[in-house]
Copies of this chain bind each other. A is one copy, B any other.
């Protein structure tokens, strides 16, 4: 596929393509030209062609894209067909919300929820019993888990992340407001809600002083 040289900007755009193509499928649209897709997505047709050419290209000149095929291929590129499992570390408000969220449409399921608080351990969230974080290493030996979701206070986040990595976790979806300093082979994706709200606040305060760039659609 030649995916070795793909820029992170392209990668960030793939989930949005996937979402738009999923919408088209829902609406029964089977074929779309890059021009039509570009109008819907508000990016240039040339950008779409360039992005998709990174993966070998999926269109036939003059015939447009087969929506189902393109959707499924991008899904495969994103690893969404792999049936991945994640564990949630921290059964607080955000951890609970994520545990109850249905990620199955992008191929993820929650395999376990862990916390350190005695009053939380043993309770059920979305049909899953919260386990003691002390048992996470054993759990990871017995289960195939791709992603750990960190929804714990920042004071514990680093130590927890290091334990998870030592126990074999290779990817962390980090909601704690901290930059984790981990081995370079560990994939970390941050969702820093405070910082997102601060950026919104800035843009709202300074409204009109600059045109908002289209890239604001691309984050998160």
Q: Which A residues are closer than 8 A to B by beta carbons? A: 3-6, 8, 11-12, 14-16, 18-19, 42, 77-80, 82, 84, 93-94, 96-98, 100-101, 103, 105-108, 146-147, 170-171, 173, 177, 179, 184-185, 187-213, 215-217, 219-220
Contacts and interface: CB of A to CB of B under 8 A. Distances in A.
A148 to B, nearest CB: 11
12 contacts: A4-B209, A6-B206, A16-B179, A94-B97, A98-B193, A106-B194, A173-B197, A173-B200, A184-B211, A189-B203, A190-B217, A191-B196
A90 to B, nearest CB: 11
Contact of A96 (B97, B103, B179): B97
Given A6-B210, A200-B171, A212-B187, A82 B16 contact: no
Contacts of A210: 4-6, 8
A192 B3 CA distance: 24
Contacts of A200: 147, 171, 173, 187, 189
A113 B141 CA distance: 42
B201 A79 contact: yes
Given A146-B201, A171-B203, 15 more contacts: A4-B210, A11-B202, A14-B199, A78-B205, A79-B205, A93-B96, A93-B97, A94-B97, A96-B97, A103-B194, A179-B217, A185-B208, A187-B200, A187-B203, A189-B203
A21 B168 CA distance: 33
Contacts of A3: 206, 209
A205 B84 CA distance: 11
Contact of A106 (B82, B173, B188, B198): B198
Contact of A79 (B80, B194, B204, B219): B204
Given A191-B193, A195-B220, A197-B173, A204 B146 contact: yes
